[in-house]
Structure 1
Amino acid sequence: MRWPWYSDDDSRRKPLPPLLSIEYWSDPKNYLHPRVLVPASVLAACSLGLIYVYRAYVRRIPESSQIYPSFFRKRSLFGKVTSVGDGDNFRLYHTPGGRLLGWGWFPGRKVPTDPKELRQRTVHIRIAGIDAPELGHWGNPAQPYSAESLEWLRTYILGKRVRAYIYRRDQYERIVCSAKVWKGLWRRDLGLEMLKAGVAAVYEAKTGAEFGDMELKYRVAEATAKIQKKGMWGLKGQYESPGTYKKALKEAEAAASSSGHGGASSSAPAASKSSAPAASKSSAPAASKSSAPAASKSSAPGPSKSSAPGPSKGSAPGASKTNTGKPSSAGTPQTGVKGGVVVVGKPSSGKRSTTRKMPPTSATTTRTTARKKAL
């Protein structure tokens, strides 16, 4: 039976060589044939899909810095708790796939126990929505009930398999997560169990709090533990919550730093008061006392003994003696007054002296009048 679209040209076509033969691949036109394009496309799609599955679900994440931001609020980590450092955080060794992919029984798929082997190979987890009593860090005193809270968390999850639902990364490079752990036939929320036991409080910060959809349950569990005086709420006296305790520590540090800056500022003015005025008193007034009065005494008006009135030999009547001073330094001209005329002597540079007429002063006029009357 002939197909309707079958033509005589198709019967005259040369049949294709076998797919695995050299003759077939030597012709470039055969690369676009459907029996080549379809398998190649399927193979490429399967390869890309396997790479995505491996990177998203099978790849082991050694530490928190290698968690992509695309994981936040979408992905979770499954692993084994290797250490508990505080009442609200722990270290998780990521075991993707769990026992299904051979973790714990297949060769090369075992969780290390040596601390040296675990270094830089665990994810630091911060439990979301809760705040446990603070241990003594960086020289600060430990908060009451901090040791009991740490011991409770170690007993509850150390060495257990936990699934952590990722929210975000905090300022200490920890991954904020809500953790789930199996207890018997039920999977428990770790933060909720800590609040019920009275070993933690609801996170009180204004920003950065993460609860998921558990905030209401967390607050009800905390209120119930307070009423029943469980854990840290049963201590004598008014117990200080971890949030209030940390706030008080920050205020104390701020007050200490401000007092340190105040001491530095008070010492600086003291230095300036003790140095600047002393310099001004010892230099400026001394110069003015030693120079200004001396100049006023030497240049005070009035006739001196050397310029007293009186006739001299070989001088015309009415002529007064000239008070010609010698130069005190090089280049200073000699000056004097003669008959109401100011005489400028030759300077040390050797230039010719000049004479400039000036109106007679009152002292010169008085002396001349007195001499005329005497004659």
Structure 2
Amino acid sequence: MQTYLVGGAVRDELLGLEVKDRDWVVVGATPEEMLAKGFKQVGADFPVFLHPETREEYALARTERKQGRGYHGFSVYSAPDVTLVEDLKRRDLTINAMARSEDGELVDPFDGYRDLLSHTLRHVSPAFSEDPLRILRTARFAARLSPRGFRVCDDTMTLMRQMVADGEVDHLVPERVWQEIQRALHEREPGTFFEVLQACDALAVLIPELSAPEVLEKALEALRCVNRSTSNTDQRVAALFSVLDEKTARQRASALKAPNDCRSLAGLTAHFKAVVTDLCSMDRLPANRLLELLDTADFWRRPERFQALMEVLGCALPEPERAFLKVLEKAAEGATGVNPKALMARGFSGKALGRAIREERLTRIQQALSDTND
């Protein structure tokens, strides 16, 4: 039985990055031997075990064979006769197909260290084409490492294009696509993820509304702006989809199985962009339209979401229209001061109270607009 540190831990160690997770491969062992040593089995499709003390994952060396379309269509073979090289060969990129033995020796049968030095993302073998999810993983690693100068090599890009042309990407389920997109949105350069997908023609399959070069350029400009100031997933999704109309933004976020907060903020951003563009063409801003915007954003109950929306709009709106946001913030600040209890003390109740609150808010917004004009 031999144990090797594999994959991302080896890659990040060689890059001088913090190693957050350690995965191990065990060669020459059976599940029974692992259990006898106190490991706990957790893998259903193939034997993966948790170390009794560190809780790190130890997987028995395995090989895979393609049997169907998509990323589910694999049969897995795991037995003591599977070698380390055979296990590493099934991995996606050469920089992820290195291992380190217990005595510290680097095992690098596919020249991953060379590709690290040359800043190259390269597939390990033709078996890469058997799993369309590897296209998204490659794009995600590009998003993580492009600030260090990494790029997808031409041969791998050609292979990914062929996979798309063969229809492999069509078989990815939305939930798995969303998982990769969500991770990519939090990489160092999330825009690179979508640029790689566009370069291999996968974006036209996965998010066709963004695939036109001029549309993608504007979307990534907004995303990169938001990326510099916030780490919230919903704001990044909203920025990415800010180039779409409200209906399309909500539909695409829903089709990708994005969480409800992402769908909601993406729709709100698109709605506000359209209304702001309309309002900025007017000579005078009507107070009732500003109040409608605050109502639409549910500002009274969810002021924190309104603030998140304003941050996204600050990146998504064209420069001349961003000045409107200060006006809207002043209107919101003024309207916040309405005290329903004070109105109730004056005898208002029921629907009359609702009307009184609305009138008071309108008055305060009009005052805020007057102060702004002055």
Q: TM-score, normalised by structure 1?
A: 0.28
Larger Rg: 1
**Larger fraction in strand:** 1
Normalised TM-score (structure 2): 0.28
